[in-house]
Amino acid sequence: MKEKKLNNEVVWPTESPIVVRNFLQTGVDLLKEKIGALSQNPNNPLSRVCVANSCFSLEPVRGCPLSCAYCIAGNDCRNLIIDENSYHKNITEIDRGKLIPRIPEMLFPGEVLAETMINHPGFVKDKSIVSVAIGSSEAFLPGVEQETWAAMKYLADHGYMNPFWFAVKLGITDPLIGRWLKRFRFLKKKGIKIAISVSESNAPAWLEPYRGDRFRNLEKVKEAGVHITHHLRPVIRGITDSTESLSSALNKSLKISESVCIGGLRIDPGIVLLWKHINGKDPNLLPKFTDTEKGLPPRKDLPENVITKVKKLIKKKGYKTPVFTRSSHILSYAFDIPDVNLYKYRVEDDSVFLRISLTIQSSVKMKQGKEIVEAFREIAGSIGLPMIRFKAEAEKIFVKQRLNYQEHHLLIHAISHSGVLPD
């Protein structure tokens, strides 16, 4: 790691994300730091402690050699090898071949990120789910795995029981499996839960060049007490959504995996940059590509009938493996906890924070001895957001302030972890 002056200042509520408009004159607006980063200052370790959809994600490195054609390993400028002074050059003026880091480069040690995370007010001891390298590399890749372990060990040695979740494509390779089995057994003895989601959608080599067996060694990992789940992702219309392709993907996992989670591909601006402007691939191959180009919020595209097809295939192959479509539901299943994202209380309308039936509101009042909005206010205070006020209008609960992504997600997670709402 290059020597740098660290800045450990916690700014919470966090500053708004910085967006670099028209990055390299491609029309793409990229975030300066990762989505959910808890600092916009690149010298602050919190810039690599991120609030992901269902967990805290520690991102000690940037760079991944697996070279998936849709991944710049993060929708942010920091994950590219480029100087801030070059953000507004024309893309033809830079060496595109050197823009995407393929050899993991350490930015902050795993231990530093773990310590930084537990000192953040939004982190809930023993409850917040923790991941490593979920948005910038592979957690068990040589050159990254030692930072993954450093972060896990730091938490375990300091008495934290928080569960760990990894989403990987590489799995765990032969030279590393012995030491990782010991590590998993050590954590299991302490009662710490771990889940590994393996992404496998039978993608062709031009899309995902890595051809190794992604479930290799994971049977032993499962025996060591780790929950193994199959991320059947990305299911892409016309590429990985045929019955044959889904069947081949399932054949690789069903003997081992305890659940299957289906998902499509969300065309984020990083994909637009890589696919069209760096790799020069045909935008029409990916669904909703032009929506993102037009500046519409990226949405996942999941071809119709895929869920039914997968369920039928699993049954036909003689298994009863449960199927989910949300990672947080996989985590609930793996860790036996309520849905960290409270999806059953969420609504399409962004102006409504949660929708909670009057019956549940009454039962919360009975149990907690206070109105639900007061219970929520106390939970917000417990994660360093005492200024947040809630308002109930019949079933709809509103937040009076505007919350950014990080505050919103950590508040939702904290309400889920509190157990105030029935699952």
Per CB under 6 A, residues contacting ligand SF4 are: 64, 66-68, 71, 73, 137-138, 169
Dmax of the chain from CA atoms? 65
CB 138 to ligand SF4: min, Å: 5
Which residue's CB is nearer to ligand SF4, number 64 or number 340? 64
- Name beta bridge partners: 30: 20
Token readout for 58 is 């520690």
Percentages helix, strand, coil for the chain, rounded to the nearest 5?
A: 35, 15, 50
What does the block give as tokens for 157?
């040695």
Q: CB 64 → ligand SF4: shortest distance, Å?
A: 3
At its nearest, how many Å lie between ligand SF4 and the CB of residue 363? 43
What H or E segment, with its residue span, contains residue 182? helix 174-189
Q: Which is nearer to ligand SF4, 134 or 356 (CB)?
A: 134
Which two three-digit tokens encode residue 207? 């899309």
First to last CA, the chain: 44
Closest CB to ligand SF4 among residues 138, 407: 138
Distance CA 197, CA 205 (A): 21
Question: Which single residue is written with the structure tokens 């057994």?
Answer: 185
| Closer residue to ligand SF4 in complex, CB, 64/118 | 64
* Least CB distance to ligand SF4 at residue 365 (A): 45
Q: Which is closer to ligand SF4, CB of 101 or CB of 163?
A: 101
What's the min distance (Å) between Cβ of 134 and ligand SF4?
A: 9
Nearer to ligand SF4, 133 or 380 (CB): 133
CA dihedral 395, 399, 405, 410 (to 10 degrees): -80
Task: Tell the smallest beta-carbon distance from residue 386 to ligand SF4 (Å).
Answer: 37
Give yes or no for a contact between 22 and 28, defined as CB atoms under 8 angstroms apart: yes
Question: Which amino acid would we find at residue 318?
Answer: G
Q: How far is the CB of 72 from ligand SF4 (least distance, A)?
A: 8
Q: Give dist(CA 229, CA 73) in Å, integer.
A: 22
- C-alpha radius of gyration, the chain, whole number: 21
- Rank residues 30 and 71 by Cβ distance to ligand SF4 and give the closer one: 71
Structure tokens, 104: 């993991």
